[in-house]
Amino acid sequence: MDHASPKADNPAQTRPFRRQVFYLPGYDPFHPRRYRELYRKEAKAQAAVSGYDIALRARKGDGPYGWHVTARIDGAECVTDMQVLVWADIVKASMAHGVGATYLQLLRTVWTYIATGALFRLMRLRKGPMIAALYPVAFLLGQLAIALVAGIGLAAELAHLIHSAAGWVVGPPLVWLILRVFRRWDHKVYAYYLMHDYAYSAQVRGATPPELAARMRAFQGQIATALGGSADEVLVIGHSSGAHLGVSILADLIRQGLPAQGPELSFLTLGQVVPMVSFLPEARQLRGDLAFLSASQALTWIDISAPGDGCAFALCDPVSVSGVAPAGKRWPLVLSAAFTQTLSPERWKALRWRFFRLHFQYLCAFDRPGDYDYFQITAGPQTLAQRYAGREPSKSRIETPLSGYTTTA
């Protein structure tokens, strides 16, 4: 790993290390303050375990949502400006479907993954994320079955009581009412939420929806501005489906050219689900971006996941499994967060079956931390390249090319 910042390596440096972080959330409809409060709470917990000082304050004024972090780690000071690249409004709009439209989405999405062969190829990678993908399908079909049985049963009983076929008229409204009730309860089971998530990627068979493509261009402009600034490192973090957005954003940015003496550019992907998109036929642009970025010397790309995260394609090299690894492939360096080792047995036992919570563990504190520490990465005095210099990739990584579509744009 030979891409290191001269500014970061200067032993005579007396000012604090300066970092600009851009955080790309996954498919998340919530206000970005959720990430600020998560960072505040978990940074405090990690600092108590690891013995360093870290503090957070809100960003004032207009502009993109974010916060400032100051830290003293291993005797060195660091100042970080955190910024969330918000696309929650696009997510909300894509979720604004009624019950009927969601069931139509279900049929289209399932058909897309089956007809293209992507479903069966993805199942050969990791079972966990495919179970997570099939969960909303099974749950929504189960809800429909319950509604049909209950609605038809009540209608039949009413027809029997009044001795008239007119009682059957209440059947369809009852079925619809029951489905609406299930929809209101979705904040407890996330079936609709997950269905909208998978449907959004599948709606154009892996291509980037126009409204998201426009937002990604805006994100690219914000990162480009930071690369023209005085930070020592510009770190882009893509979590979950934010990982594949980051791949395309940075690939386009690098193609346009980076400042000759700019900050070091780093890319950290966490709990990625890239194959859910890259295995689809129209994901040619994404596959091309994966191939390009994997051979680039302009950045450092580290991919962190954990087999304990059932919602991610853990330790699956997103470039190689997509079948687009070039001859000069350098990235990503695939590493494990090793939840069963970095969380105490008590903590692991408490979290093991909380699948959605575990998918966010990368952004949280570990009570037995290893070399993956989200807060040292985002607020510590080392660049991503320095932190993982000399590290070998995980021996358990999966690199087998399994995508049925390997054409690139």
Q: What is the pLDDT of residues 204-260, one digit of tens each?
A: 999 999 999 999 999 999 999 999 999 999 999 999 999 999 999 999 999 999 998
CA distance 178 to 176: 5
Question: Could you give the count of Cα atoms lying within 13 Å of 89 in the half-sphere of its Cβ?
Answer: 5
How are strands ordered across the β-sheet holding 233-239? 53-58, 66-73, 76-84, 17-24, 233-239, 264-270, 300-305, 333-336
- DSSP at 30: S
Q: Residue range 302-311: average pLDDT?
A: 95
Q: Which helix (H) or strand (E) holds 83?
A: strand 76-84
Confidence band (pLDDT; 50, 70, 90) for 4? very low
pLDDT at residue number 11: 44
For residue 212, which phi and psi values (nearest 5 degrees)? -75, -40
- Position 140: which residue type? L
- Position 209: which residue type? P
Q: Which helix (H) or strand (E) holds 213?
A: helix 210-227
Q: Residue range 157-175: average pLDDT?
A: 73
Selection from 301, 302, 313 nearest residue 359 by Cα = 313
- DSSP at 328: T
pLDDT at residue number 5: 44
Q: What is the mean pLDDT of the chain?
A: 91
State percent of the chain over pLDDT 90.
74
- Is pLDDT at 98 greater than 90 in this prediction? no
pTM above 0.85, yes or no: yes
pLDDT at residue number 167: 63
CA distance 234 to 383: 9
Q: Residue range 1-22: average pLDDT?
A: 65
Place of tokens 């809100």: 58
* Structure-token pair, residue 127: 């079972």
Q: Which residues contact 94 (CB under 8 A, 6 or more apart)?
A: 196, 199, 200
Fold of 16-89+207-387: Rossmann fold (3.40.50)
- Position 377: which residue type? I
- Is pLDDT at 9 greater than 70 in this prediction? no
Query: Among 59-73, 75-89, 395-409, which is the least confidently predicted range?
Result: 59-73
- DSSP at 316: B
pLDDT at residue number 165: 67
* Structure-token pair, residue 199: 């449907």
CA distance 39 to 56: 8
Distances (CA, A) of 227 to 107, 179, 188: 44, 50, 42
| Chain-centre distance for alpha carbon 171 | 41
Q: Which helix (H) or strand (E) holds 375?
A: helix 374-379
- Is pLDDT at 168 greater than 70 in this prediction? no
* Structure-token pair, residue 56: 């957070």
- Is pLDDT at 62 greater than 70 in this prediction? yes
- Is pLDDT at 2 greater than 50 in this prediction? no
* Structure-token pair, residue 356: 């959605």
Q: Which helix (H) or strand (E) holds 19?
A: strand 17-24
pLDDT at residue number 1: 44
Q: Averaging pLDDT over each range in 158-167, 174-183, 294-303, which range is the top one?
A: 294-303
Contact 186, 193 (CB under 8 A): yes
* Structure-token pair, residue 391: 């590290």
Distances (CA, A) of 261 to 2, 258, 315: 16, 9, 33
Contact 217, 292 (CB under 8 A): no
Q: Residue range 40-61: average pLDDT?
A: 93
Positions of CATH 3.40.50 in the chain = 16-89+207-387
For residue 349, which phi and psi values (nearest 5 degrees)? -60, -40
